[in-house]
């Protein structure tokens, strides 16, 4: 049985004090909710505040990105040990916004994944096709290339710390969601690709989140698909009630 996992990607939203307010609203809404991993990924500047605010709750902390080196002359960057010291246990890597606006390639994502694992972070690795890819029938080709490139060279133990987020680029922040059937089709394809890359046991145990305009009103249907093991939530994660409903739908 794969335990569902719901993560909130706050992107470049919320100052420290706003982040604390959001957590304060969220904690009572999730009181007593069990059987699901919940992760909040605020911007770097709010990590410490959120880390403190979630102490003693079942909520875990994640970052939205990191550098592959542990320290050094990389102005503006943040390393895995810096995240670990704030009690972050997850990091999102290869988000389509990082790939599009900051030129992150599969090789870069792979280097970051290895660095995250060597610092005992769980990596939430994002893959997904653009609308152009989908309309030209290239979804599977693109997703397979991203998986093989971003996750090259991992061993069985490494895979235990990998979560895949399938995020069709055309559904991110657009209000346009993949239908449950469209999402399930790609999730099943991703599981098959992991089986080919590693083996069927790893494929069966790897959690695959859906991301792309998931919200309280569509979460239940998406999350009831056999290969959808949770969600990576952008916009709806900025609203405590909406995010809490998604978490409950995942149980
Ligand atoms: C995301 O950016 O990971 C995401 C899924 O965003 P949204 O939910 O806003 O589409």
* Start-to-end CA span in the chain (Å): 12
Q: Phi and psi (nearest 5°) for 167? A: -130, 95
SS3 107: helix
Ligand 1: residues with CB < 6 A are 9, 167, 172-173, 211-214, 232-236
Q: Catalytic positions, please?
A: 95, 167
CA dist 211 and 218 (Å) reads 12
For residue range 72-89, what is the model confidence (pLDDT) as tens digits?
A: 999 999 999 999 999 999
Find the domain containing 52 and state its range: 5-250
In the prediction, which pLDDT does 226 show? 98
Q: Which two tokens stand for residue 8?
A: 């909130």
Which atom of ligand 1 sits closest to the CA of residue 214?
A: 8
* pLDDT over 90 at 7, yes or no: yes
pLDDT category at 1 given cuts 50, 70, 90 is confident
Instruction: List the helix and strand counts (H, then E) for the chain.
Output: 12, 8
SS3 8: strand
Mutating to test ligand 1, I would choose from 5, 7, 9, 231 the residue with most ligand atoms within 8 A of its C-beta, which is 9
1 versus 209: the higher-pLDDT residue is 209
Residue tagged 């470049």 (tokens): 12
Mutating to test ligand 1, I would choose from 11, 43, 127, 172 the residue with most ligand atoms within 8 A of its C-beta, which is 172
Which atom of ligand 1 sits closest to the CA of residue 165?
A: 3
- Number of domains the chain is built from: 1
Residue 41 and residue 64 in contact, taking contact as beta carbons nearer than 8 Å: yes
- Summary mean pLDDT of the chain: 97
CA dist 26 and 12 (Å) reads 19
Between the alpha carbon of residue 149 and those of residues 36, 80, 124, 126, 206, the distances in Å are 29, 21, 15, 12, 17
- For residue 227, the domain's CATH number is 3.20.20.70
From the CA of 213, how far away is ligand 1's center (Å)?
6
For residue range 114-155, what is the model confidence (pLDDT) as tens digits?
A: 999 999 999 999 999 999 999 999 999 999 999 999 999 999
For residue range 38-61, what is the model confidence (pLDDT) as tens digits?
A: 999 999 999 999 999 999 999 999
The model's pTM:
0.98
């Amino acid at each position: 049985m794969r335990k569902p996992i719901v993560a909130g990607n706050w992107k470049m939203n919320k100052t420290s004090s706003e982040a604390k307010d959001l957590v304060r609203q969220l904690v009572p809404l999730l009181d007593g909710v069990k059987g699901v991993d919940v992760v909040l990924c605020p911007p770097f500047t709010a990590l410490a505040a959120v880390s403190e605010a979630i102490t003693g709750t079942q909520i875990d902390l994640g970052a939205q990105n990191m550098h592959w080196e542990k320290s050094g002359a990389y102005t503006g960057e943040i390393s895995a040990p810096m995240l670990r010291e704030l009690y972050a246990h997850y990091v999102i890597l290869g988000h389509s916004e990082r790939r599009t606006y900051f030129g992150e390639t599969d090789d870069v994502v792979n280097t970051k994944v290895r660095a995250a694992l060597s610092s005992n972070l769980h990596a939430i690795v994002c893959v997904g096709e653009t609308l152009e890819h989908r309309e030209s029938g290239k979804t599977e080709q693109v997703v397979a290339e991203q998986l093989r490139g971003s996750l090259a060279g991992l061993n069985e133990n490494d895979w235990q710390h990998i979560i895949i987020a399938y995020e069709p680029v055309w559904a991110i922040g657009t209000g346009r969601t993949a239908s449950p059937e469209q999402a399930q089709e790609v999730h099943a394809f991703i599981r098959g690709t992991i089986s080919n890359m590693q083996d069927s046991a790893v494929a069966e145990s790897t959690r695959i989140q859906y991301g792309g305009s998931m919200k309280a009103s569509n979460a239940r249907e998406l999350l009831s698909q056999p290969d959808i093991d949770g969600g990576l939530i952008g916009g709806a994660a900025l609203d405590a009630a909406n995010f809490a409903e998604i978490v409950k739908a995942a149980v």
